[in-house]
Amino acid sequence: MNKSTLGFLETYGFVGAVEGLDTALKSANVELVSCEFVTGGIVTVIITGDVASVKAAIESACTAIERVGTLRNAHVIARADNEVLNIFNKKEESKEESKEESKEESKSNDIDKDEKETKYEEKENDEKNQPIGIEQLMKMSKEELEALKVQELRTLARKLKEEHKLSLTKKQIKFSKKDQLIEAILNEQ
């Protein structure tokens, strides 16, 4: 397939763009080049293929998008110059490079993060030495409970639930906010 022809569909909103793209890809032998999100909810879909296929795909896509009511503009560039095509090739290359760079960065960040978490956990374990027991929990003031993280409060609330000392259900514990958990624990004291 000669991929020198470009077709553009510009819509208001993502739904119209997807509807148009789906119709274009099904109606002719074309391929998606990119989907660009412009400001103000404008989405531009770019397809490629031979001249007749792109024209047919754009016409059928316009009809489908008009049913949704969000067509803004459509255009076909027949046999685009190589410099125009290079714009999209460079964009794809830069996306691939940035993906590779982000993978490398995330690997190094994961290692750094693991080291920091390990150090934090060791420090936290040294400070606390032992997890908070039910007896300690029942003696804690509101300020001490507020100093705990929501995850810690949920863990403690589950312990209280196991001992039948908390009226919240498991689902309520899971979805309760910090204030709600503190209130429920204080009510059981």
Strands 30-37 and 42-49: antiparallel
Residues 6+ apart with CB under 8 A from 186: 142, 145
Higher-confidence residue: 89 or 74?
74
- For residue 76, the model assigns a pLDDT of 92
Mean residue pLDDT across the chain? 79
Whole-number Å distance between alpha carbons of 189 and 187: 6
Nearest CA-CA partner of 60 in 22, 106, 14: 22
Q: pLDDT tens digits, residue range 148-160?
A: 888 888 888 888 7
Cα–chain center distance at 111? 23
- Rg over CA atoms, the chain: 29
Q: Which residues of 9-35 are buried (b: 16+ CB within 10 A; e: fewer)?
A: bbbbeeebbbbbbebbbebbebeebee
Would residue 177 be called left, alpha or beta, if left means φ above 0 and alpha means ψ between -120 and 50 degrees? Answer: beta
Higher-confidence residue: 20 or 174?
20
Q: pLDDT tens digits, residue range 25-60?
A: 999 999 998 888 988 889 999 999 999 999 999 999
The pTM of the full predicted model, rounded to 2 decimals, is: 0.49
